[in-house]
């Protein structure tokens, strides 16, 4: 009999991916399911990026590349960090990976020994906790409630620090809450981190361009902690390139070297063609994303306006990414037909089977009172989905 590893058995399946698989299965059975489960832009990759990929193929960029990425790609990322974030990362501080997911896994595997503590504010993105567990680290979760716009303060961070703390990881704009840390809020975290120079902070900024508040603020901007911060980013979200698989870090050189070493044994570099296409994305001015950001903004209004009309649903005011993470705990204990709703998971199952809308329950994001709506869908689809959710919730009593 095959015996899987304890490491694998202790790992949860990605809830975002599981829910999108379930809705795909229902669709295949002919059910008209609307899936708002996966965090994936519904736009296509811009033509100039596809053209760069075709050109790369025709020019035979089809072989193994340096593990941390082509030199010209890393140079363009270095310029992007300067242009968009005013961050100085030299080429040898940049490692390109097969998605930001791998970038994060590389960093965690490079730093974490068995028993090392990793501080993660909840709600967090589903994969953070599981990646830490695979590395035999201990996740230390800080609950950031909806009343604090799902953000933590420096004092909360400091209270979670112990002699075993090795890493702190978070995202801004945040998946799943859409919360965006201001410069002052990041400064508050930086003031704490600078007192503990052995602690590394992983700042996941993959949604930086999808920000309705204005300018994106990076944690690494504070010189007193620059040497402790790993900035994670990627092309999946802003450039609608989820299938191309490219993420990257800007990091202290020791960490970049370590990630290069890990990646050299696990996967080597990401796809050569994707890398050449990503150069075109890096060189493009973020201003070309204006229309996409405007579309996300008006979808956010649509979803928030509908949610705010549903009795028992509480929302924060998401200022970035393309998610809303409402508190729906007032429905716990309610029933409809054979359904009894005791958890967010029950509610998501009910809405999937009864209302044909796929969402992701908050448990996997570390907040069991909420569910996540990804509004990366057309306004027409969103209008219908919100109508179905409203009707489904209204039937519960």
Cross-strand partners of 142: 121
Q: Does 101 bind ligand PMP (CB under 6 A)?
A: yes
Q: Does 246 bind ligand GLU (CB under 6 A)?
A: no
Using an 8 Å Cβ cutoff, are 95 and 111 in contact? no
Which residues touch 225 (CB under 8 Å, ≥6 apart)? 190, 193, 194, 201, 219
Q: Which region, judged by CB under 6 A, interacts with ligand PMP, from 99-107, 136-144, 261-269, 325-333?
A: 99-107
Name the strand (E) or helix (H) holding 201: strand 200-204
> In this structure, is the dihedral angle defined by the CA atoms of residues 287, 291, 295 and 297, taken in order, positive or negative?
positive
Binding mask 179-208 for ligand PMP (x = CB under 6 A): -------------------------x-x--
Q: How far apart are CA 305 and CA 163, in angstroms?
A: 46
Q: Does 100 bind ligand PMP (CB under 6 A)?
A: yes
Q: How far apart are CA 126 and CA 118, in angstroms?
A: 15
Residue 38's binding partner among ligand PMP, ligand GLU, none (Cβ under 5 to 8 angstroms by kind) is ligand GLU
- Which residues in 125-144 contact ligand GLU (CB under 6 A)? 126-127
Q: How far apart are CA 145 and CA 121, in angstroms?
A: 10
Region of 65 (left: φ > 0; alpha: ψ -120 to 50; beta: rest) is beta
- Which residues in 29-88 contact ligand GLU (CB under 6 A)? 38-40
Which CB sits closer to ligand PMP, 128 or 222? 128
Region of 382 (left: φ > 0; alpha: ψ -120 to 50; beta: rest) is alpha
Which CB sits closer to ligand PMP, 234 or 326? 234
Q: Does 125 bind ligand PMP (CB under 6 A)?
A: yes
Q: How many helices (H) and strands (E) does the chain have?
A: 13, 14
CB of 29 to ligand PMP, least distance (A): 27
Q: Does 17 bind ligand GLU (CB under 6 A)?
A: yes
Binding mask 233-272 for ligand PMP (x = CB under 6 A): -x-x-----x----x-------------------------
Which CB sits closer to ligand PMP, 241 or 393? 241
Residue 244's binding partner among ligand PMP, ligand GLU, none (Cβ under 5 to 8 angstroms by kind) is none
Structure tokens at 395: 């039937």
Using an 8 Å Cβ cutoff, are 386 and 307 in contact? yes
Q: How far apart are CA 112 and CA 122, in angstroms?
A: 20
What residue ranges bind ligand PMP (CB under 6 A)?
Answer: 39, 99-101, 125, 171, 175, 204, 206, 234, 236, 242, 247
What residue ranges bind ligand GLU (CB under 6 A)?
Answer: 14, 16-17, 38-40, 101, 126-127, 175
């Amino acid at each position: 009999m095959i015996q899987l590893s304890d490491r694998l058995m202790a790992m949860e399946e990605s809830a975002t991916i599981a829910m999108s698989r379930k809705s795909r299965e229902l669709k295949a059975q002919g059910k008209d399911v609307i899936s708002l489960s996966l965090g994936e832009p519904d736009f296509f990759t811009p033509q100039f990026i596809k053209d760069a990929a075709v050109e790369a193929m025709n020019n035979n960029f089809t072989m193994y590349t340096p593990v941390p990425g082509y030199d010209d790609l890393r140079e363009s990322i270095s310029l992007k960090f300067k242009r968009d974030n005013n961050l100085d990362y030299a080429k040898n501080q940049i490692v390109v990976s097969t998605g930001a997911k791998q970038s994060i896994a590389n960093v965690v595997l490079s730093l974490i020994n068995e028993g090392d503590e990793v501080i993660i504010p909840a709600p967090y993105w589903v994969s953070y906790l599981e990646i830490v567990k695979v590395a035999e680290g201990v996740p230390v979760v800080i609950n950031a409630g909806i009343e604090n716009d799902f953000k933590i303060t420096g004092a909360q961070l400091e209270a979670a620090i112990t002699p075993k703390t090795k890493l702190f990881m978070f995202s801004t704009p945040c998946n799943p809450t859409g919360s965006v840390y201001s410069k002052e809020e990041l400064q508050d975290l930086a003031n704490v981190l600078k007192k503990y120079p052995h602690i590394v902070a992983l700042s996941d900024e993959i949604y930086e361009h999808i920000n309705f508040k204005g300018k994106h603020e990076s944690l690494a901007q504070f010189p007193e902690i620059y040497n402790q911060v790993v900035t994670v980013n990627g092309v999946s979200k802003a450039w609608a390139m989820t299938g191309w698989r490219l993420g990257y870090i800007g990091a202290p050189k020791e960490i970049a070297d370590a990630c290069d070493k890990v990646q050299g044994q696990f996967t080597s570099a990401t796809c050569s063609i994707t890398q050449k296409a990503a150069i075109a994305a890096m060189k493009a001015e973020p201003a070309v994303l204006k229309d996409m950001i405007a579309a996300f903004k008006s979808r956010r209004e649509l979803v928030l306006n509908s949610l705010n009309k549903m009795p028992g649903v509480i929302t924060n005011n998401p200022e970035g990414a393309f998610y809303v993470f409402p508190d729906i705990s007032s429905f716990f204990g309610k029933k409809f037909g054979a359904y009894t709703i005791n958890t967010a998971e029950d509610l998501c199952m009910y809405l999937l089977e009864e209302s044909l809308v796929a969402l992701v329950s908050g448990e996997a994001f570390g907040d069991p009172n909420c569910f996540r709506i990804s509004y990366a869908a057309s306004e027409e689809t969103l209008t219908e989905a919100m109508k179905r959710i409203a009707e489904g919730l209204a039937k519960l009593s």
